[in-house]
Amino acid sequence: MPSIRRKSSSCKHPPRLPCIRRPVFTVLLLAVASASLLGGTNGIVEGIIRDKRTHEAISEVHVAVLEIQSGTSSDSTGRFSLQNIRTGKYTLRFSHIGYTSQIVKDVAVHPDLRTRITVELEPSAAEMEEVVVEQEKLLFERDVTGTTYLVSGEEIRLLPVDYANEVIGLKAGVTLEGNVRGGKATEVTYLVDGLPVQDVILGGLSASLPTSSVVGMSIYTGGFDPEYGNALSGVVNMVTRTGGNTHRLFVRADKDDLFGVTQTSKTSEFELSATGPIAQNQLFYLAAVNGLITDTRWWQDFQHFFPSPIEKNLNAFAKLDYVPSPPLKIGAQVLISHRDTHEYEFDWRYNLGGLPPEEKTSYRIAAILTHTVSENFFYTASLSRYIVDSRIGQGAKQDVPVNDPWQYDFYLQYIISGQRAWWLKSTQQTSTAKVDGTLKIARANMLKMGGEFNYYDLQSDLLKLEPQTTYFGKTLANLPMLDFSSAYTYHPWAGALYIQDKIDLPEEGALLNFGLRYDMLDPRARRPAIESIPLSDTAFSAAAAPTVPASVKQQLSPRFGAGMQVAQHGYLFVNLGWYFQYPLFDYLYTGLDRVALAKGVSAVTGNPDLDPERSQSLEISLKYVLPADLVASLTYFKKETTNQVDTKTFIAGPSRIGGNLGYVEFVNNPYAEASGFELVLGREVGRLITGEFSYTYMVAAGTSGSPYQGFLSAQYGLPTPIGTYPLSWDQHHTLKLISTFSIKEQLDVNLVVQWHSGRPYTSYPIANPYAAIDSSLFSPNNGRMPSYFNVDVKAQKHFALSWWPGALLTLYADVRNLTDAHNVAWMDSNGRIGGELNDPSGYFIGRRTHVGLQLSF
């Protein structure tokens, strides 16, 4: 059956539900009723065994998975099923008296999917040598109905990327920054072994893995199953390797400033990983560490203020897997990710010491139990604790000079003295209990169910003062600073349950998916009932009345998918789904402390009664297998998102905001929509060349492009935009080519070419940057920047060492932006790249060449 790592279908947007009484009791009751499997890490291998001459089914054939000492036997119809197999590639042995044993190599197992194989055994009266065959790679996966990319660890290491999570930016419908099909970059959830690694306060990915620790990853850019929640646009699940009965070591090092290269960031990287047995067949280990130091692209300016290196990154992952018996596995893992850096702003280039340093450290410990109860049922249970510490600034909070105004040069262009008043100490601890299970009902039905509970311990202490500016970025020194300071401690919790039934009829060429997810969040906070007191006909004062408790938020998210064979080599997939995402906790809690409310300190007030953002998505996909192992895919998608977070000013008329002039609160308002189609031509199987070419046409529009859009509009005296306008990441046309050339199995060359049409920017030409804006002439994102073009190449030369059996030495060169193209990153309202200062950050980074060496044995 054809199968590719590619697409299918998607959807999103959940119906609003009335309040369900006794929500905690409901969650507990349903949790007891659901027995389940850790989604996103394990798969199933199944198939049929026949006599090669008569083509009749063979029963009682022993099937063994050599790497994990697991096995089963075929039934009376010749069918077998191996449950709960972790993502990776395996070797299967098929043996039966009267037949020649057969070994099938490179059987790929993918998260949440079934790998099907057909084996034909040769009858033999005498004992003969085993027949070894290599499992052919499927052209595309036909048992998923949403757009899904499955990427192996080997493929990741061939690509010109620094970390595995960057692979999503190479897929159709995704921008360089990770916007999936017109959504915000923050609408994508990142997971490691099925558990999230998100910053729930500030947003974004908060941990990275050493690339050598990743065995594979699943990227969902369309519809995804109900086991995945808290994501509107996409899911990226990275699955880690598991040790085996052979010790293996991997070492890698590279630099970008060797051989007199002039274009450099002075970057050095080192990676080391080891796997193997502690006790044969029972206890296995994996340990991997990656370190990167760099002086960044701005090293010429940084060298006058700080010693090298400017940025330090350390990522480490370790795990133990204990297998007391083949059906049972107990795992423990530790993930550590640390980043220490100095940010750069061009107008501070003569006073970079005035910008605060930034540091973020993430820790995760997890225990995972997987148990194959029977041939038809297996489950996984996990406990984890994830801690993210974020720091901005040095020393104690009281040491920050809040009364040290910035000093500009004579031309009011560069900041030459003073210190930014920005200090943060934030800690988030997430304790998670999760259980998932898979039950096979008859041959066609696969029932999945599960639940999870998250308890959060959130602490944030922020001191931040920013000067008011004109729309054109000019500081208004005569106006008071905007104070964003806040301090809070909260302990919200969230729970979820899901169930999914997948009916797969390969003989009939049909697939049906039905799923339902229930989520709830208790903010465990009280919100101020703020009243507006009129001071005059055009001015109001805000007063905090007695607080009221924030309500428990609940959500039902149904998801449907279907697939059917429409021609001998063609398949049609349809996916419809409703999705949700909780707002960042900073949007709920910032500025709610009593001091901030009483003094009117915080320029922006949180709202613990914010509803989840909701999205409804439809995807229709047609896949067709062409000659030469090519697969063509055409996908139409449409997505509508509501309840997005923005800020609303509760004062009358245009006004600059801050302190007791009024208050701004986060609210649910904006609407966004995206639609388009993706055309992908891929070749996953082949000796000389593999890869994919994609073209995406997309339109992404909305009523707000940022949670602070309303705040900024009020600050600049602009009215709230009426209707939708192009969002900043709206790329109408995007072309991508990713190809790998394998030459004599000793040389691999990977080529990544990307082009997209110009993105929007707001054109409002004006000579005086202090002049007021004529709102009747102002239109957001009414212009387009130049198009983008980039070529990355990574070449690897492999050397097998005859004097060192099993060792492989690899030399590689990784060149980013090969043509040194000057791609525009931003323009000011006058259409000047980099603004009036010709800021180099107006262009994306130029050519960088990394040369490295790696050794595996």
**Mean pLDDT for the stretch of residues 380-393:** 95
- pLDDT tens-place string over residues 644-680: 999 887 543 333 333 444 567 889 989 999 999 999 9
Question: Could you give the dihedral angle defined by the CA atoms of residues 54, 56, 62 and 65, in that order, rounded to the nearest 10 degrees?
Answer: 90
CB 460 within 8 A of CB 201: yes
Percentage of the chain surpassing pLDDT 90?
50
**Mean pLDDT for the stretch of residues 80-105:** 84
Count of Cβ atoms closer than 10 Å to residue 453 Cβ: 17
Is the pLDDT assigned to residue 127 strictly greater than 80?
Answer: no
- The helix/strand/coil state of 156 is helix
- List CB contacts of 507: < 8 A, sequence separation 6 or more: none
Token digits of residue 571: 């398949």
- pLDDT tens-place string over residues 111-120: 777 888 888 8
Average per-residue pLDDT for the chain: 85
**Mean pLDDT for the stretch of residues 713-722:** 80
- List CB contacts of 279: < 8 A, sequence separation 6 or more: none
So what's the pLDDT on residue 24?
A: 37
DSSP 674-708: EEEEEEEEEE-S-SSEEEEEEEEEEEEEES-SSTT
What CATH number was assigned to the domain covering residues 148-489+497-546+553-856? Answer: 2.40.170.20
Q: What is the pTM of this model?
A: 0.86
So what's the pLDDT on residue 12?
A: 37
Spatial CA neighbour of 578 closest among 232, 235, 237, 234: 232
CB 422 within 8 A of CB 393: yes
* pLDDT confidence band for 125 (50 / 70 / 90): low
H or E element at residue 301: helix 299-302
**For residues 183 and 231, what is the distance between their CA atoms, to the nearest angstrom?**
10
- List CB contacts of 615: < 8 A, sequence separation 6 or more: 12, 13, 183, 187, 232, 233, 578, 579, 580, 581, 639, 640, 641, 642
Out of 67-76, 150-159, 306-315, the most confident range is: 306-315
Residues forming beta bridges with residue 14, ordered by sequence position: none
- How far is residue 87 from each of residues 111, 196, 637, measured CA to CA in Å? 6, 18, 29
Domain ranges of the chain: 148-489+497-546+553-856
